[in-house]
Structure 1
């Protein structure tokens, strides 16, 4: 085989091909083409005018059956510089293609996978090894497959066959050209026992994820982001069988439970010591503390640590949670699942997807689920319903439109808080500290909108999205507000309903260009957010205390007073600019800034009086630098700010500035075990300033000043990936020192509420890869949360806890059955505090859920 002819072929096509031969047609090539004569570390270099610093983008993967098996083609736009390094490890043939990245049209970080394409070959995968390398892996069944090198006008070909004995080995022919994809008439095609199964999935490569969009709103490798960002992929969510977003992020360092809303899937989070209400969806504003988010529609969860206002507007400085949802697939996919557990837990669900027309330009996805369960507290019973259809429409070669709708309803008698007595003992776990006959909730969240993107060229793109999130909450409840002499609970009761309507629109322009030898990826955007909340309630006056030792729940209805009602409105406008600059392959700068304007008003719906809120504006910068001394190590440092508007004002009309968050962060990101394991080690300090506190120079308690400050600093470690074939893990540790540094109400040095100094987690699974046990897996989880302050005054402490989870499952050929256990040893613990002795959220006791599902 002539190498110059090979170079010409690659230069013309820019393609790399993996050809799998069946044993029935296995043939060795001649001396010129035998791969065994090529050094394991040899590199085949294809020359082209492209700069050595340019990353070749592989934009498509094709699988074509041939008379000798199947070929897998990695497509690029044109012939470009490619380097191929091959080696073997156990029963795997591995080919690495440096200076290249897989960028499939359906999203970044996707993996191509072919399961059992021929007898003797168990799997072929094509995936991103790191930010600059594509890896092609051919796995033999029990033995290393034999690999041959072919020449072709279509490109470089790796021909792999199952290992055979010497007696089975055919005579060596002369070097040959790659066969055509059509079966020659004089030579029948090889027969196969089973049809070839080729699947292109949107799932990330196991536990280790290499790309994310939350930090930059662009497809950026994690190692190129000068900020800590952790991704929890779908495989982890499924292995752990999480029931809420709060459970999903338990494996992420520096993130702890900030209390749910009435036991529903509406959640606050504490990130790096600061509370953040609600979450984002696919990179834009979604729900607040009262909005519902189901887990059935989640593909992965991305957690961006530190101030994020530069792209997302008004957010607390600890960070944000971004939910990335499942998208329609181009191939038919059907999943039926049934789950059942203790405390009468039942949940049937379906996940269907596929094309709606022959040319696959119109795709759909439908997620449906219904859940019913009793609580671990007496009287608690709730139902959760989710309906979520999505349509994707390819309007042209460069234009895509996605329409989505999601309906979530949560209703029933919900879980109450628990209380701590004066001797720091807690009420029994099953104790319901309210009046259940006067407690109900019926909350509905609906989400709908669209996203559209158009590529003007390979380097310029415009994106637009619009979303509407509506909430309708109707509820009646009693609430314990104080412990009276350790004997009874003082009660507060109200009947209330409120509606929330959030409208969000955004338009982005993305572009890539060079200034000399320096490359730029620029983002220019504008967004608009309108939020309207109408809140009405009646407060009861005749609510008796609830006896702790001998509770009497049989009471008559309360007498409710007159109904009040008010409407809050706010409008926010933001414009932002970001530039990702690459000076060299290993030196990258991220710089950006955003300016926001926020206005609003409040209307008393009874009197009709409207009060204008103070206008707020803020500039939020971010700058970060990444230096990569090697392909596996990234060193970074960054500075960023955030803001949250302040709607209060002094009686004399004095307008307050927004609260500000300022963070300094340094860290190191590394890939180990040949790229199978990724780590992030970060150190940071965040200061939140302009916090309102009493004015000591004014006797009027309504007068406030902005001198309050809180500070959080700490160290975080996150590790995720595959240690050995079949053995996966995701682990974290966080040390968080969050305290009051200046205040006229609280003592300096007080710890922030519900923030542990030490937090650690480990979730690990092992799945048998071969033998009769293939598909059988086990999981073990350890979750430690240290002691925390129970209130702002630091009057009591919440004990630390260690919870153990476990799982066992079997999956094969689309079938999966599993058992997940949460709190294996029935540890009694407090999850979090809402700042008070009667506002504590209890952790659930021993919980077991069995599941069975079919994918086809």
Structure 2
């Protein structure tokens, strides 16, 4: 394995130990009543009272294998953004949460559509409580409000065992809040820059005297303007869930959520990044290519039912069925063309209207438990899952495509709304997935555990995309294997292997889908726990090879992107930390390095930062326990994109610093101030596409929270 930087794993471990042991010991005697809750988190967090409030770490995750493994026992890198971290830094949307997640890059290609990457590649695997693929096109439309989630887990590396479609990037698992038996309620109100207003509420408790039926309601309303010219939006969320103990060993859970995102004057595409002479453009941070009539409305509804049965021998059976319906309706304006540096002439109008309907039915059933073999105790999981996804899209192109624009300082978004009847294109297809899987943790010795399994997946597609037939079928067995060896009670080393298999929805110039991606992914690492398990650290090396990975090949005549297959090899390392450094001092941090090459050994995907550092920390002084102070830092090195005719767009390395401070007036009432982008850094959000726009300048918000 050829990796440029060195790997000071042992030195890192010793340094962390020396750094944190002394202050923790000195402060332990001064600790007040502020402490971490004892957590016993299941894969779906269905048991009452299990949450990630008051902590920056989660004790266990089943995202990789469905086995209940702690982070130290999982032979891959797992990081979690907890409820407490979301509250401290105002991470109200999925994009903000994943921005704060070590090793993940949020590619904000437009205001209301984003792609996520990890270890250099697009994240295609998304789960809700360990089930399903919430995003049908690997894009987040609008933004998912995080008020309904207890935590968001990110498993780095390929995850073919639980998703059936291994990819060496990551799997994102959104874990929903569940009802509590004890009554609790919370209301938060916030006001911030650009007239941003937010209010959310969360009520939970028993619905009968015996406490055998429990419910939870979560609602959020978020609206306001923006630093971008003309842009504003309104988001609304409702989430309700009820669980009932049918017997002492049978639990039924039923829930529903509805989220609407309604932005006005959203971006479709973004600013041109270079002039015809090759020089870089440089506009005001507020510059937007959108017209004043543009909109992009999204509605997402999800219903789910779960049944869990525990047996006397310790085994359990769990079944889950979910139905998701997503609708998008928009009228958008794209600024095409390259401006002239002298007079900004060159850009032209490209208006279009789109509608998209997606329906998903997702099911999963599995049994898990322990068994004895060879005088030792082991664990196993056996399951099956199925899904169907039906998607239809309709594009209506507007009159006036090609009309020259008064671009640059003259552009104010005042372009007449056209009739959308110039021409039309459409697609309609359906995917079916059927899988069976098995996994186990086998105790080979007191120190050595083998974690392995396999998943057989069959996928079928029927339909057409823009007149190209999409009918095809694929099937594959994806094995997974990992070894975890306990060096001591606190330190373990591991190695894991996952086969990569992922059918692709991207199409070539003729409109046909590309062949599935095939390959292999490997990871080795060291994990440690400190301070009686309150702090976890990790160091990992990873590498992956893929064939026929979809890579942008250009644009068709209708402005849509076509793709070509490319062979890649990636390698890198990650360092992570999460937990409590000392009493009342919480932190999470991660450093990632990744190097990606094509089959000729040339660097590719240079629009993704090779080095990335993320840190978030809060502290409550012992002398003023009602005060909390915190900071987060996100740093990435320079990125670049090779544009047309040998022109290169570069974004220099930059760091974003956010601060927070809160004051608790009483057990029920508190206030919090958040300051984002402290240094008012000017930067491009992404170079994932040939166009981009600037990130948020310095801004602030003040919130008030009432808890019962």
> What TM-score bracket applies, with the shorter chain setting the length?
0.7 to 0.9
Distance 1:820 1:91 in 2: 27
Question: Secondary structure, in 3 states, of the residue corresponding to 1:579?
Answer: strand
Deviation, structure 1 residue 656: 6.6
Alignment of 1:368-383 (within 5 A): 368-383=219-234
Question: Secondary structure, in 3 states, of the residue corresponding to 2:271?
Answer: coil
Q: In the alignment, which residue of structure 1 is the partner of 2:426?
A: 565
Question: Secondary structure, in 3 states, of the residue corresponding to 1:378?
Answer: coil
Contact 2:595 2:603 (C-alpha < 8 Å) held by counterparts = no
Q: In the alignment, which residue of structure 2 is the partner of 1:804?
A: 657
For each residue in 1:786-821, what CA deviation from the matched residue of structure 2 results, as whole angstroms up to 9, or x when unmatched?
111335878322222111100010124132210111
For each residue in 1:55-108, what CA deviation from the matched residue of structure 2 results, as whole angstroms up to 9, or x when unmatched?
xxxxxxxxxxxxxxxxxxxxxxxxxxxxxxxxx9679699xxxxxxxxxxxxxx
Distance 1:414 1:582, change over 3 A: farther
Distance 2:204 2:257 in 1: 16
Contact 2:640 2:650 (C-alpha < 8 Å) held by counterparts = yes
Distance 2:126 2:106 in 1: 13
2:127 to 263, 267, 280: 280
Matched, 1:556 2:411: no
Distance 2:235 2:257 in 1: 13
For each residue in 1:270-316, what CA deviation from the matched residue of structure 2 results, as whole angstroms up to 9, or x when unmatched?
01000124732110124212455211011111110111121112253
Distance 1:627 1:331, change over 3 A: same
> Radius of gyration: which is bigger?
1
Distance 1:610 1:649, change over 3 A: closer
Unmatched segments (≥5 aa) in structure 2: 1-23, 43-47, 554-561
Question: Secondary structure, in 3 states, of the residue corresponding to 1:238?
Answer: helix
Contact 2:27 2:583 (C-alpha < 8 Å) held by counterparts = no
Distance 2:669 2:340 in 1: 57
Distance 1:263 1:630, change over 3 A: same
Distance 2:411 2:468 in 1: 44
Alignment of 1:805-844 (within 5 A): 805-811=658-664, 812-836=666-690, 838=691, 840-844=692-696
Distance 1:275 1:336, change over 3 A: same
Distance 1:231 1:290, change over 3 A: closer
Q: In the alignment, which residue of structure 2 is the partner of 1:50?
A: none
Deviation, structure 1 residue 556: 2.7
Q: In the alignment, which residue of structure 1 is the partner of 2:8?
A: none
Distance 1:808 1:688, change over 3 A: same
Distance 1:478 1:249 in 2: 28
1:447 to 297, 302, 319: 302
Deviation, structure 1 residue 505: 0.6
Distance 1:648 1:806, change over 3 A: closer
Deviation, structure 1 residue 519: 2.2
Deviation, structure 1 residue 355: 0.5
Q: In the alignment, which residue of structure 2 is the partner of 1:221?
A: 70
Distance 1:315 1:591 in 2: 15
Q: In the alignment, which residue of structure 2 is the partner of 1:28?
A: none
Q: In the alignment, which residue of structure 1 is the partner of 2:443?
A: 582
For each residue in 1:704-741, what CA deviation from the matched residue of structure 2 results, as whole angstroms up to 9, or x when unmatched?
99973112211111112222212221111111112323
Deviation, structure 1 residue 683: 0.6
Q: In the alignment, which residue of structure 2 is the partner of 1:522?
A: 380
Q: In the alignment, which residue of structure 1 is the partner of 2:320?
A: 465
Q: In the alignment, which residue of structure 2 is the partner of 1:761?
A: 614
Contact 1:419 1:427 (C-alpha < 8 Å) held by counterparts = no
Alignment of 1:8-47 (within 5 A): none
TM-score (norm 2): 0.86
Contact 1:268 1:277 (C-alpha < 8 Å) held by counterparts = no
Tell me which moved more, 539-548 or 526-535. Answer: 539-548
RMSD of aligned C-alpha atoms? Answer: 3.0
Contact 2:468 2:511 (C-alpha < 8 Å) held by counterparts = no
Distance 1:92 1:655, change over 3 A: closer
Contact 1:714 1:736 (C-alpha < 8 Å) held by counterparts = yes
Contact 2:166 2:498 (C-alpha < 8 Å) held by counterparts = no
Deviation, structure 1 residue 482: 2.8
Distance 2:392 2:201 in 1: 35
Structure with the larger RCO, 1 or 2 (CA within 8 Å, 6+ apart): 2
Distance 1:346 1:389, change over 3 A: same
Contact 1:668 1:680 (C-alpha < 8 Å) held by counterparts = yes
1:319 to 149, 152, 170: 170
Tell me which moved more, 220-229 or 210-219. Answer: 210-219
Matched, 1:485 2:340: yes
Q: In the alignment, which residue of structure 2 is the partner of 1:307?
A: 158
Alignment of 1:348-747 (within 5 A): 348-416=199-267, 417-421=270-274, 422-437=278-293, 439-486=294-341, 487-488=344-345, 489-543=347-401, 544-546=403-405, 547-551=407-411, 553-560=413-420, 561-603=422-464, 611=469, 613-646=471-504, 657-691=515-549, 708-741=566-599
Distance 1:693 1:855 in 2: 49
Distance 1:753 1:280, change over 3 A: farther
Question: Secondary structure, in 3 states, of the residue corresponding to 1:249?
Answer: helix
Contact 1:613 1:647 (C-alpha < 8 Å) held by counterparts = no
For each residue in 1:670-693, what CA deviation from the matched residue of structure 2 results, as whole angstroms up to 9, or x when unmatched?
122443321011110111213368
Distance 1:714 1:692 in 2: 21
Alignment of 1:31-430 (within 5 A): 122=33, 127=38, 202-203=51-52, 206-259=55-108, 262-264=110-112, 267-277=114-124, 279-288=126-135, 289-291=139-141, 292-416=143-267, 417-421=270-274, 422-430=278-286
Contact 2:37 2:54 (C-alpha < 8 Å) held by counterparts = no
Contact 1:251 1:730 (C-alpha < 8 Å) held by counterparts = no
For each residue in 1:482-525, what CA deviation from the matched residue of structure 2 results, as whole angstroms up to 9, or x when unmatched?
32324143332101111111111111111210102232211111
Distance 1:617 1:808, change over 3 A: same
Contact 2:643 2:649 (C-alpha < 8 Å) held by counterparts = no
